[in-house]
Protein backbone atom coordinates (compact mmCIF):
# COMPACT_ATOMS: atom_id res chain seq x y z
CA UNK A 1 0.00 0.00 0.00
CA UNK A 2 2.85 2.37 0.82
CA UNK A 3 4.46 1.71 -2.57
CA UNK A 4 1.21 2.56 -4.36
CA UNK A 5 0.89 5.81 -2.39
CA UNK A 6 4.48 6.71 -3.28
CA UNK A 7 3.85 5.96 -6.97
CA UNK A 8 0.78 8.22 -6.98
CA UNK A 9 2.68 10.99 -5.18
CA UNK A 10 5.63 10.69 -7.58
CA UNK A 11 3.30 10.81 -10.59
CA UNK A 12 1.60 13.94 -9.26
CA UNK A 13 4.92 15.61 -8.48
CA UNK A 14 6.27 14.88 -11.96
CA UNK A 15 3.11 16.29 -13.52
CA UNK A 16 3.18 19.43 -11.42
CA UNK A 17 6.91 20.02 -11.98
CA UNK A 18 6.83 19.57 -15.75
CA UNK A 19 3.69 21.62 -16.22
CA UNK A 20 5.09 24.29 -13.94
CA UNK A 21 8.19 24.67 -16.08
CA UNK A 22 6.16 24.66 -19.28
CA UNK A 23 3.50 27.08 -18.03
CA UNK A 24 5.05 29.50 -15.50
CA UNK A 25 7.32 31.51 -17.80
CA UNK A 26 4.81 31.84 -20.67
CA UNK A 27 2.12 32.79 -18.13
CA UNK A 28 4.38 35.53 -16.75
CA UNK A 29 4.89 36.94 -20.25
CA UNK A 30 1.16 36.81 -21.06
CA UNK A 31 0.38 38.48 -17.72
CA UNK A 32 2.71 41.33 -18.67
CA UNK A 33 1.22 41.64 -22.16
CA UNK A 34 -2.27 41.84 -20.64
CA UNK A 35 -1.06 44.65 -18.30
CA UNK A 36 -1.87 42.83 -15.05
CA UNK A 37 0.94 44.48 -13.10
CA UNK A 38 -0.26 43.40 -9.66
CA UNK A 39 -0.59 39.76 -10.73
CA UNK A 40 2.90 39.91 -12.19
CA UNK A 41 4.47 41.32 -9.01
CA UNK A 42 2.61 38.95 -6.68
CA UNK A 43 3.53 36.06 -9.00
CA UNK A 44 7.16 36.42 -7.92
CA UNK A 45 6.09 35.91 -4.31
CA UNK A 46 3.94 32.86 -5.11
CA UNK A 47 6.47 31.10 -7.34
CA UNK A 48 4.41 31.95 -10.38
CA UNK A 49 1.02 30.64 -9.27
CA UNK A 50 -0.62 34.05 -9.67
CA UNK A 51 0.82 34.37 -13.19
CA UNK A 52 -1.49 31.56 -14.27
CA UNK A 53 -4.46 33.58 -12.98
CA UNK A 54 -3.22 36.73 -14.71
CA UNK A 55 -2.73 34.88 -17.98
CA UNK A 56 -6.24 33.37 -17.81
CA UNK A 57 -7.93 36.68 -16.94
CA UNK A 58 -9.31 39.04 -19.53
CA UNK A 59 -6.75 41.56 -20.74
CA UNK A 60 -7.02 45.23 -19.81
CA UNK A 61 -8.73 47.00 -22.75
CA UNK A 62 -5.71 49.23 -23.42
CA UNK A 63 -3.13 46.40 -23.28
CA UNK A 64 -1.12 45.12 -26.22
CA UNK A 65 -2.83 41.72 -25.83
CA UNK A 66 -6.34 43.19 -26.14
CA UNK A 67 -5.42 45.47 -29.05
CA UNK A 68 -3.77 42.69 -31.04
CA UNK A 69 -5.84 39.63 -30.09
CA UNK A 70 -9.39 40.78 -29.38
CA UNK A 71 -12.07 41.54 -31.95
CA UNK A 72 -14.70 44.24 -31.26
CA UNK A 73 -16.94 41.92 -29.21
CA UNK A 74 -14.06 40.81 -26.99
CA UNK A 75 -12.86 44.42 -26.66
CA UNK A 76 -16.31 45.41 -25.38
CA UNK A 77 -16.38 42.46 -23.00
CA UNK A 78 -12.92 43.32 -21.64
CA UNK A 79 -14.01 46.94 -21.08
CA UNK A 80 -17.15 45.97 -19.10
CA UNK A 81 -16.32 44.00 -15.92
CA UNK A 82 -19.92 42.84 -15.49
CA UNK A 83 -19.80 40.87 -18.74
CA UNK A 84 -16.73 38.95 -17.58
CA UNK A 85 -18.58 36.76 -15.06
CA UNK A 86 -18.38 33.08 -16.00
CA UNK A 87 -20.98 30.39 -15.53
CA UNK A 88 -20.64 28.57 -12.16
CA UNK A 89 -19.87 25.17 -13.69
CA UNK A 90 -16.92 26.41 -15.73
CA UNK A 91 -14.60 26.55 -12.72
CA UNK A 92 -15.28 22.91 -11.86
CA UNK A 93 -14.77 21.82 -15.46
CA UNK A 94 -11.51 23.76 -15.79
CA UNK A 95 -10.24 22.47 -12.46
CA UNK A 96 -11.02 18.86 -13.43
CA UNK A 97 -9.32 19.37 -16.80
CA UNK A 98 -6.23 20.85 -15.12
CA UNK A 99 -6.01 17.91 -12.70
CA UNK A 100 -6.42 15.42 -15.55
CA UNK A 101 -3.62 17.18 -17.45
CA UNK A 102 -1.36 17.09 -14.38
CA UNK A 103 -2.00 13.36 -13.95
CA UNK A 104 -1.43 12.61 -17.64
CA UNK A 105 1.82 14.57 -17.88
CA UNK A 106 2.98 13.19 -14.53
CA UNK A 107 2.28 9.61 -15.56
CA UNK A 108 4.11 10.07 -18.86
CA UNK A 109 7.16 11.71 -17.23
CA UNK A 110 7.40 9.29 -14.31
CA UNK A 111 6.74 6.16 -16.41
CA UNK A 112 7.27 6.95 -20.10
CA UNK A 113 8.13 3.33 -20.89
CA UNK A 114 4.48 2.41 -20.36
CA UNK A 115 3.75 4.40 -23.52
CA UNK A 116 6.91 4.20 -25.62
CA UNK A 117 8.37 0.90 -24.44
CA UNK A 118 11.64 -0.16 -22.82
CA UNK A 119 14.88 -0.02 -24.75
CA UNK A 120 18.37 -1.10 -23.75
CA UNK A 121 19.87 2.37 -23.51
CA UNK A 122 17.14 3.87 -21.29
CA UNK A 123 17.18 0.81 -19.04
CA UNK A 124 20.99 1.02 -18.79
CA UNK A 125 20.68 4.69 -17.86
CA UNK A 126 18.17 3.88 -15.15
CA UNK A 127 20.03 0.88 -13.71
CA UNK A 128 23.58 2.18 -13.93
CA UNK A 129 23.24 5.85 -14.80
CA UNK A 130 25.16 5.24 -18.03
CA UNK A 131 23.54 4.53 -21.37
CA UNK A 132 26.79 4.04 -23.32
CA UNK A 133 26.62 0.27 -22.71
CA UNK A 134 22.98 -0.67 -23.45
CA UNK A 135 21.31 -3.59 -21.72
CA UNK A 136 20.69 -6.74 -23.75
CA UNK A 137 17.18 -8.16 -23.88
CA UNK A 138 16.99 -11.86 -22.94
CA UNK A 139 13.20 -12.24 -22.98
CA UNK A 140 10.23 -9.84 -23.03
CA UNK A 141 10.67 -8.93 -19.36
CA UNK A 142 14.28 -10.01 -18.66
CA UNK A 143 17.43 -8.07 -19.50
CA UNK A 144 21.17 -8.31 -18.83
CA UNK A 145 22.77 -5.03 -17.78
CA UNK A 146 26.24 -3.96 -16.78
CA UNK A 147 26.37 -1.31 -14.08
CA UNK A 148 28.77 0.01 -11.45
CA UNK A 149 28.84 -2.12 -8.32
CA UNK A 150 26.99 -0.66 -5.35
CA UNK A 151 30.16 -0.26 -3.35
CA UNK A 152 32.70 2.26 -4.63
CA UNK A 153 35.07 -0.48 -5.83
CA UNK A 154 35.45 0.94 -9.32
CA UNK A 155 34.35 -2.17 -11.20
CA UNK A 156 31.20 -2.96 -13.18
CA UNK A 157 29.00 -5.89 -12.31
CA UNK A 158 26.51 -7.79 -14.47
CA UNK A 159 22.89 -7.76 -13.37
CA UNK A 160 19.84 -9.72 -14.45
CA UNK A 161 17.07 -7.15 -14.64
CA UNK A 162 13.35 -7.97 -14.56
CA UNK A 163 11.13 -5.21 -15.98
CA UNK A 164 7.42 -4.77 -15.31
CA UNK A 165 5.22 -1.67 -15.58
CA UNK A 166 8.26 0.46 -16.45
CA UNK A 167 9.95 -0.41 -13.15
CA UNK A 168 12.79 -2.87 -12.72
CA UNK A 169 14.45 -5.14 -10.18
CA UNK A 170 18.15 -5.99 -10.68
CA UNK A 171 19.93 -8.97 -9.14
CA UNK A 172 23.68 -9.43 -9.54
CA UNK A 173 24.64 -12.37 -11.76
CA UNK A 174 27.73 -13.28 -9.71
CA UNK A 175 25.98 -12.79 -6.35
CA UNK A 176 29.14 -11.51 -4.70
CA UNK A 177 28.88 -9.90 -1.29
CA UNK A 178 29.72 -6.45 -2.68
CA UNK A 179 26.84 -6.38 -5.13
CA UNK A 180 23.32 -6.03 -3.88
CA UNK A 181 19.79 -5.98 -5.07
CA UNK A 182 18.67 -2.81 -6.91
CA UNK A 183 15.31 -1.54 -8.03
CA UNK A 184 13.87 1.56 -9.62
CA UNK A 185 11.76 2.93 -12.44
CA UNK A 186 12.64 4.26 -15.88
CA UNK A 187 11.86 7.99 -15.99
CA UNK A 188 11.75 10.50 -18.79
CA UNK A 189 15.34 11.51 -17.99
CA UNK A 190 16.53 7.97 -18.75
CA UNK A 191 14.91 8.15 -22.19
CA UNK A 192 16.33 11.62 -22.83
CA UNK A 193 19.87 10.68 -21.80
CA UNK A 194 20.20 7.81 -24.28
162 with 141: CB under 8 angstroms? Answer: yes
Q: Which of 12-16, 82-86, 93-97 has the lowest mean pLDDT?
A: 82-86
Can you tell me the mean pLDDT for 133-161?
A: 81
Q: Which of 16-20, 42-46, 135-139 has the lowest mean pLDDT?
A: 16-20
Residue 136 has pLDDT above 80, yes or no: yes
Distance of CA 24 to the CA centre of its chain: 14
What strands lie across the sheet with 182-185, from one edge to the other? 136-139, 142-148, 156-164, 167-172, 182-185
pLDDT band at 4 (very low <50, low <70, confident <90, very high): low
Can you tell me the mean pLDDT for 61-65?
A: 89
The torsion of the CA quartet 16, 37, 76, 90, rounded to 10 degrees, works out to 20
pTM of this prediction?
A: 0.59
Amino acid sequence: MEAVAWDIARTLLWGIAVLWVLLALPAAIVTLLKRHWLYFCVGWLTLGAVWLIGAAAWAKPDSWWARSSYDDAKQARAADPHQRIRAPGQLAIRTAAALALILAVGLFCSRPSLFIGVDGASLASSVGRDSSDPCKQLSPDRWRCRAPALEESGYNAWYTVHVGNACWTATPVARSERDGHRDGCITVFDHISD
